[in-house]
């Protein structure tokens, strides 16, 4: 019985890995190089690493908001492709372009006006002797330059997301791998001043990031427009498509909660880290180090969650609802069990990772503990991620909004604030208490998925 309901046959896993493997490879390489990027800046010193970490916290909100917008519209792209409706795919691609342009333009304006004040909210005296004014200077210099690459990042995500949703995942994988390798090479050259270039420090890191974003966009865009037989959405990007008010309203109403969810969730994580930073400036680089490391190990179940959304979404678009439920159960089981192994590896590698950084013993000890706490909770996080993508692929984006970002603002942030102001808990106990609240999401997610509220065909005539 267990084998039939939770374990698939060889053909099932071949299909899963044909979708998940390109995502996983790209995510692993991207995250690994991001870790190396983090280490390269960290080798300069604690102040540069802290400044870049704070700026990246602000950009994290923009990136996740953009992801939520594009992937929310992509729910329809995936189902239209499963249905064989090329015209629907083209229309959703155009909607992505317009929405992303508005969002990125607004983000650049807001960061240009309020970036300085937002950076200062993270700067609190600690015991490590870090110069706050110096940290601010590094953060401002990095943010002002790296945000110039946001338009290319947005376009790249639109092309890459649409290619994945139409089962052309190897192309964005290749583009992503190329981009991160370029980022790594130019980081080395520009941060440290190699091959005749001056040592530019954090400004060099920002320049390398922008170079990689332009490269990734160029590869995805050029391939799509030179392979229009497989990238059907590229046939008439600049042509005319009549998008009815009914269709536009349906797409935006479905996508809006997902956009708000990703935006508010990422903003919530940023606020949480700002609350943690009030325990001392050394918490900022420690969370930055642990976050970069944990993200590397999280890539497996994040890729599986994305694959689940695409595969189950295709089944729903074909109106194969029993197949969708069966596939979903098997993918959740596979992801959770596999993550147990990843969690053990993460826990054991904590000290090895933090000792690579050129920072104080206090920061290293905090970072190592943060990594171990995250490792213990990884199997729960993996299951919650699968529940999230399950609800999302069936169009229940308002429920995912309540399930994800509302939880951050209603439970996690108030809990952290109360622990900060009304208890004497140290930062590690406080952090462990806040992240352990994920167990509540696990229980709620299990109930919602079992009720099968998400089993919906959004593109039926």
* Domain ranges within the chain, ordered by starting residue: 2-450
179, 215 contact by CB (below 8 A): yes
pLDDT score at 56: 83
The answer to whether the pTM exceeds 0.85 is: no
Long-range pairs, 33-38, Cβ under 8 A, ≥24: 33/180, 33/181, 33/183, 33/184, 34/180, 34/292, 34/295, 35/292, 35/293, 35/295, 35/296, 36/184, 36/187, 37/183, 37/184, 37/187, 37/205, 37/208, 37/209, 38/288, 38/289, 38/292
pLDDT score at 1: 46
State how far the Cα of 350 lies from the Cα of 36, in Å rounded to an integer. 15
Q: pLDDT truncated to tens, each residue of the chain (461 aa)?
A: 445 577 767 777 887 777 778 778 767 776 776 677 777 887 788 788 888 888 888 888 888 888 888 888 888 888 888 777 778 888 888 889 889 999 999 999 999 999 888 888 887 765 556 678 888 898 899 999 988 999 999 999 899 988 888 878 788 888 988 888 898 899 999 999 998 899 998 899 899 989 999 999 999 999 988 988 888 787 766 666 677 777 888 888 878 877 888 888 888 888 898 899 888 888 888 888 898 888 888 888 888 888 888 888 878 877 778 888 888 888 899 889 889 999 999 999 999 988 888 778 888 999 999 999 999 999 999 999 999 888 877 777 778 778 778 888 999 999 999 999 999 899 999 999 999 999 999 998 899 888 887 887 776 65
80, 232 contact by CB (below 8 A): no
pLDDT score at 346: 93
What is the C-alpha end-to-end distance of the chain, expressed in Å?
A: 36
pLDDT score at 401: 78
């Amino acid at each position: 019985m267990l084998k039939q309901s939770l374990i698939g046959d060889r053909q099932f896993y071949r299909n899963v890995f044909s979708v998940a493997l390109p995502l996983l490879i790209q995510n692993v390489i991207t995250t690994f190089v991001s870790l190396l990027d983090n280490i390269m800046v960290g080798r300069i010193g604690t102040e540069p690493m802290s400044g870049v970490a704070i700026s990246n916290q602000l950009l994290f909100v923009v990136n996740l908001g953009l992801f939520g917008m594009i992937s929310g519209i992509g729910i329809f792209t995936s189902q239209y492709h499963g249905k064989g409706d090329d015209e629907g795919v083209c229309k959703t691609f155009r909607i992505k372009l317009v929405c992303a342009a508005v969002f990125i333009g607004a983000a650049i304006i807001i960061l240009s006006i309020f970036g300085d004040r937002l950076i200062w909210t993270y700067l609190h005296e600690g015991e490590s002797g870090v110069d706050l004014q110096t940290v601010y200077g590094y953060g401002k210099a990095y943010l002002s330059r790296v945000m110039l690459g946001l338009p290319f990042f947005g376009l790249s995500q639109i092309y890459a997301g649409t290619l994945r949703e139409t089962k052309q995942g190897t192309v964005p994988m290749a583009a992503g791998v190329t981009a991160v390798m370029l980022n790594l090479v130019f980081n080395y050259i520009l941060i440290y001043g190699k091959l005749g270039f001056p040592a530019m420090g954090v400004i060099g890191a920002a320049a390398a990031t922008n170079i990689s974003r332009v490269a990734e966009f160029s590869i995805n865009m050029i391939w799509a427009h030179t392979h229009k037989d497989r990238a059907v959405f590229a046939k008439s990007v600049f042509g005319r498509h009549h998008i009815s008010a009914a269709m536009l309203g349906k797409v935006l109403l479905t996508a809006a909660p997902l956009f708000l969810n990703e935006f508010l969730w990422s903003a919530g994580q940023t606020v949480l880290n700002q609350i943690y930073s009030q325990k001392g400036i050394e918490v900022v680089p420690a969370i930055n180090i642990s976050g970069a490391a944990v993200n590397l190990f999280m890539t497996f179940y994040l890729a599986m969650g994305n694959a689940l959304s695409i595969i189950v979404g295709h089944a729903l678009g074909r109106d194969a609802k029993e197949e969708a439920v069966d596939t979903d159960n098997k993918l959740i089981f596979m992801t959770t069990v596999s993550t147990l192994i990843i969690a053990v590896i993460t826990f054991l590698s904590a000290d090895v990772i933090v000792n690579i950084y050129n920072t104080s013993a206090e920061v290293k000890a905090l970072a190592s503990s943060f990594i171990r706490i995250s490792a213990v909770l990884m199997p729960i996080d993996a299951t919650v991620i699968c529940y999230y993508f399950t609800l999302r692929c069936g169009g229940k984006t308002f429920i995912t909004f309540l399930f994800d970002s509302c939880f951050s603002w209603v439970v996690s942030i108030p809990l952290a604030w109360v622990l900060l102001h009304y208890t004497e808990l140290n930062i590690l106990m406080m952090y462990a208490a806040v992240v352990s609240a994920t167990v509540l999401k696990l229980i709620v997610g299990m109930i919602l998925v079992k009720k099968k509220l998400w089993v919906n065909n959004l593109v039926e005539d």
